[in-house]
Structure 1
Amino acid sequence: MLDIKLATSRTTSGALALVVPSGDPFSALELLNPVDQAEADAFLDDVEHSGSAGTVHKLPRPGRKPSKLLFAGIGEGDEAGWRAAGAALSKAARSEPALRILVPQDTAPAAVRALAEGLWLAAYRFTLTDDEPDPLRRVTIALAASREHSAALDQARAVVTATTLARDLTNTPSDRKTPAWFAKQVVKAATGTPGLTVEVREPAYLQDNGFNAILTVGRGAGPERGPRLVELSWRPRGAKRHVVLVGKGITFDTGGVCIKPVSGMKLMRKDMGGAAAVVGATLAAAAMRLPIRITALAPLAENALGGDSMRPGDVVTHYGGITSEILNTDAEGRLVLGDAMAYAVRRLRPDVLIDLATLTGAQGVALGKRTAAMYSHSDALAGDLAAAAAAGGESVWRMPLSEDYAEEIRGELTDIINSTDIGAGSLLAALYLREFTGPLRDRWVHFDMSSPAWADSNDGDLTKGATGWGVRTLTRWLEMETAA
């Protein structure tokens, strides 16, 4: 992880960067000495730098100090523009040993936070080898560090550390990422933070306490890769609200008896992205000491094809008593979520219930790679979470919870069925999950984030692979909730 600090010194022997607003790119030059101003002025005029967010132009200066000038656009100067500039600078200066960024002294703390988030997120790399890290290891933001600016940098660090963990968990190949392995990583990450506790429920406990859907999904993988239910709790003193976050944790998804084609299976190590996100958001909230009680539930299972795999036509009784007929073994995520959500409603009784899941391919068809589908009956809750996503640099779109389709999930032998053939796949999955919300129906939000959980290429603050989608949205929303 990059070493980013705030410091007033403006000298550097390496690369020096300036942030350039759109409409007035030459205003940044006031931060340079007169000689460098004249050179930079001619350069910006020659390259026609627009200052649009995320654009970078480099001016090499061999044998001089600084050895290179970088000009990064921040657009209109909102958080998104500062974050884009940070990401672009992280990539443009990757071969430099150090980078100093000159910013105006009246730069807002929110801008510093966004700049640091972009720098850190774009610098992320996941590898299983001992490859040498990129040369860029140190970034200095040239700014007198007020208490507010230092706090903003700490907030950025907490969010990025949690997002990095979520990315690492999701990127890890499934030959080593068993439910037990995932649970151990959560315990390791939570150890040493006062107020954080972790409970790992193993198969015997799940059997004795009626978590039949989690067991059913995981039984085809065999006992050594058996399911788990992880409960990570942040309980600060004086907290007056309780939020439960539930994340789908399928550590690999073959589709079971209804097996996926290879093209649909090769990235199924990402199918626990929701569990990684809710764990990450809870850890970030604890690092920030947010005064709100949070419980993250991660129902973990590997949906494997084996002699004991679930079959189409099987019937499962969820925690709490709802019965479901399994008509498609590849619609397993809603099964494990149902158990965890029913447990949350019956035992934990939160004020708000939010679930995240890499649930349906239909989400990507509707909204593409960067935008998650959001379902909720609460206009206020949905609006707040959409605002949090935008502030954090993620994207959501609220979808309708149409009652016209509610009867389609009713079963003949059971209360509900886990799959239909009528289309509307993301909506029907949401309606299925709604059955487990009980009295929290109007205080529940479901995110279907299958496509945004994975980036096919480097893109802004995303690097190819797992994105950690949801950590930033949830953390921003939790911050907003505690600031209100």
Structure 2
Amino acid sequence: MARRSSARNIFPTLPSVVWQPGLPVHGSRTWVIVVGEAGLPTAAKETGERLGVDLDRLLEAQVATGFSPAAGATAAYPLLTGDVTEVLLAGAGDGSAKDLRHAGAAIARFGRGKDELTTVVAEGIEDEALQGLAEGIVLGSFTFTRKTVDPGKPLVERIVLTDGTEADRDAVLERGVVIGRTGWLARELATTPSNEKDPAWLAARATEVAGPGGLDVTVWDEKQLAADGFGGILAVGKGSTRPPRFIRLDYTPDGATKDTPYVVLVGKGITYDTGGLSLKPRESMVSMKRDMTGGGSVIATMSALRELGAKVKVTGLICAAENMPSGTAYRPDDVVKHYGGRTTEIKNTDAEGRLVLADGLAYAVSELKPDAIVDIATLTGAIKVSLGSMLYGGLFATDDALSAQLTAAGETSGERLWRMPLPDVYTDLISTPIADSVNSSKGPGSITAALFLKPFTGNLPWAHLDLSSIAESPRDEYEYSLGATGAGARLLATWLTSDNPTAGIN
């Protein structure tokens, strides 16, 4: 049964990011001056007088020793007198949201271990850029550790932003912090080790965000999954002692009517992927705790919709299982019957994500009948061959307007997408005389995976996000930390809370 959760709030404790009209009379011991390609902010002269520093000369000196205003660049300068002990120059590049997001992350990393930073930005900074700065501050603050010794410096407690004017920009900052928080939460879920994280754990986390997010939550256990015919999820979870779950989160905006647009998100929630009986090599298995990135991003997105005032009705479906080899595991040549009756012949048990997503998509079409469906997954290694690492995620879509909406949200959020083709000619590669389809074949792997999913979407406007190419950062860089990126949460939250996320979709 669906229920409204009143469980505890699992959101992380983030730095307080606040706007200060005018320059503060008593600032922090560390001041940050955000420097763009156009030079110092307008308030730099007054700031310098207050600090007793000629900021023009300081910038010239730092440029002479290698500093540039490139996005994310920093240069610290100690002060020997007065209440302020140091000034940080932080590069903002061209002043775009992307570059300000990079700058925000650099400022947050510099602020570790400090109580407060006072940060001066360009006068009249555009809303999108200021939001990007706030997002970067949150994302650059991300930390995850199970260390008991030397866990690292704590996050900066408070960052005060000002452009020296009397403007009120609190609402813009609040949106940036919440969008950034979705990325943090998705990253935290993906980074949690799988000895802690199983399908039931993921369902518990969804239940915890439901309460503060004003969501209804329903969870199917293994018995209910069997009773309702979720054959794909059950098959993938058969080999594990930790049974699968199907999780549903529902958001209804205030004042919704029967004409309110309705979107369903379907996330892959494989809490660990060994490959099953088609066992992965050790090297390929190491990062598979984050194979539930799609499901985690759906949870994180749903958590923010009410706070951000989303105007559309949204259901998030998370298809959660652990893919393990054992005497009870599903096998190559098994035939799986999905929700709704469509069948799949198994050729590779390591092509499991599409099996669980198929059940979620079929359920959405049969029971929910939305205006659009978007599934999100770390589905194939092939998408990384096509798109490389940390540049673009893969986008497949049957509706041009839906594709355009998601692409625009990707540009705004910094989680960029590249549209891939869906040519029907490759459908023959996944055909079989035994069942309606096979789950794996030779050929263009990311495309055939998308073509496998397409029949489960019931001809509704549908987009498939294969984000394996942006799910794992190889280093600490800009707003990303080494490891899982939580890809997709900021993208989806940005899209669903835009003015008209379903415009033109038919």
Matched, 1:234 2:255: no
Alpha-carbon separation, structure 1, partners of 2:440 and 2:166: 55
Q: Is the aligned partner of 1:424 residue 2:444?
A: yes
Q: What is the CA deviation profile of residues 139-171 of structure 1, one whole-angstrom value per residue up to 9, with x for unaligned ones?
A: 111256756x22212212222222222111111
1:22 aligns with 2:44: no
The Cα shift of 1:394 comes to: 1.3
1:73-472 mapped onto 2 (5 Å cutoff): 73-129=91-147, 131=151, 133-134=153-154, 136-142=156-162, 149-194=169-214, 196-222=215-241, 225-239=242-256, 240-370=260-390, 371-421=392-442, 423-440=443-460, 443-472=461-490
Q: Specify whether residues 193 and 145 from structure 1 end up closer, same or farther in structure 2 by C-alpha distance, changes over 3 A only.
A: farther
Aligned-residue offset at 1:245: 0.4
Distance 2:125 2:205 in 1: 38
Query: Structure 2: which amino acid aligns with 1:62?
Result: L
Q: Can you list the C-alpha shifts for 1:325-371, whole angstroms capped at 9, x where unaligned?
A: 00000000000000000000111001010011111111112212212
Contact 2:473 2:481 in 1 (8 A): yes
Residue pair 1:26, 1:44 contacting (<8 A) in 2 also: no
- The CA distance in 1 between the partners of 2:313 and 2:272, in whole Å, is 30
The answer on whether the counterparts of 1:18 and 1:28 sit within 8 Å (CA) in structure 2 is no
Deviation at residue 28 of structure 1 after TM alignment: 6.0
What residue identity is the alignment partner of 2:439?
N
Deviation (angstroms), 1:95: 4.0
Q: Which amino acid aligns with 1:208?
A: A
Question: Partners of 1:41 and 1:82 in 2: how far apart?
Answer: 21
Offset at residue 47 of structure 1 (A): 2.6
- Comparing 348-357 with 78-87, which one deviates more in the overlay? 78-87
| Deviation per residue, 1:24-69 (Å, 9 max, x gap) | 3475633424485863222211232442222222222134342111
**Alpha-carbon separation, structure 2, partners of 1:209 and 1:301:** 16
Shift of 1:455: 1.5
Moved more, 6-15 or 229-238: 6-15
CA contact (8 A) 2:140 2:481 kept: yes
Quick one: distance in 1 between partners of 2:130 and 2:25? 16
2:18 is the counterpart of 1:5: yes
Secondary structure at the counterpart of residue 283 of structure 2: helix
Query: Aligned partners of 1:311 and 1:10: how far apart in 2?
Result: 69
Moved more, 313-322 or 136-145: 136-145
1:290-315 CA deviation, whole Å, 9 max, x = no partner? 12110000010000001011111000
Partners of 1:135 and 1:350 lie apart in 2 by 41
8 A contact 2:210–2:216 mirrored in 1: yes
Q: Hey, what's the Cα distance between the residues in 1 that align with 2:93 and 2:46?
A: 18
Task: Point out the more displaced range, 23-32 or 383-392.
Answer: 23-32
Which is further off, 235-244 or 27-36?
A: 27-36
Contact 2:34 2:121 in 1 (8 A): yes
Distance (whole Å) between structure 2 residues aligned to residue 475 and residue 259 of structure 1: 35
Moved more, 12-21 or 253-262: 12-21
Tell me, in whole angstroms, the C-alpha distance in 2 between the residues paired with 1:33 and 1:447: 48
**Which shifted more, 363-372 or 302-311?**
363-372
Could you tell me whether the CA contact under 8 Å between 1:290 and 1:482 is conserved in 2? no
Q: Which amino acid aligns with 1:180?
A: A
Task: Return the alpha-carbon distance in structure 2 between the equivalents of residues 455 and 34 of structure 1.
Answer: 42
Unpaired runs of 5+ in structure 1?
A: none
Query: Residues 163 and 280 of structure 1 are in contact (CA less than 8 Å); yes or no, is this contact kept in structure 2?
Result: yes
Query: Deviations 1:441-478 (Å, cap 9, x if unpaired)?
Result: xx111111113122221110111122111011111111
The residue identity in structure 1 corresponding to 2:108 is S
After TM superposition, give the deviation of residue 320 of structure 1 in Å.
Answer: 1.0
Q: Which runs of 5+ in 2 are unaligned?
A: 1-13
| 1:42 is aligned to 2:60 | no
Q: How far does the alpha carbon of each residue in 1:208-227 deviate from its partner, in whole angstroms, 9 at most, with x for none?
A: 111011101101103xx100
Shift of 1:406: 1.6
For the 8 Å contact 1:270–1:466, the answer to whether it is kept is yes
Q: C-alpha distance in 2, partners of 1:445/1:229?
A: 21
My pick for the range that moved more, 46-55 or 423-432, is: 46-55
Comparing 370-379 and 302-311, the one that deviates more: 370-379
Secondary structure of 1:373's aligned partner: strand
8 Å Cα contact 1:231/1:298 also seen in 2: yes
Q: 2-side partners of 1:281 and 1:155: how far apart?
A: 13
Cα distance in 1 for residues equivalent to 2:270 and 2:161: 40
Residues 1:109 and 1:4: Cα distance change in structure 2 (over 3 Å): same
3-state SS of the aligned residue for 1:451? Answer: helix
> Structure 1 residues 165-174 or 155-164, which shifts more?
155-164
Moved more, 73-82 or 5-14: 5-14
Partners of 1:355 and 1:26 in 2: CA distance: 43
Q: TM-score, length-normalised on structure 1?
A: 0.94
Distance, in Å, in 1 between the alignment partners of 2:324 and 2:364 is 26
Letter in 2 for 1:226: P
TM-score normalised by L of structure 2: 0.90
Aligned in 2, Cα 1:207/1:18: closer, same or farther, shift over 3 Å?
A: same
Distance change >3 Å, CA 38–CA 67, structure 1 → 2? closer
1:62 maps to 80
Does the CA contact (< 8 Å) of 1:242 and 1:293 recur in 2? yes
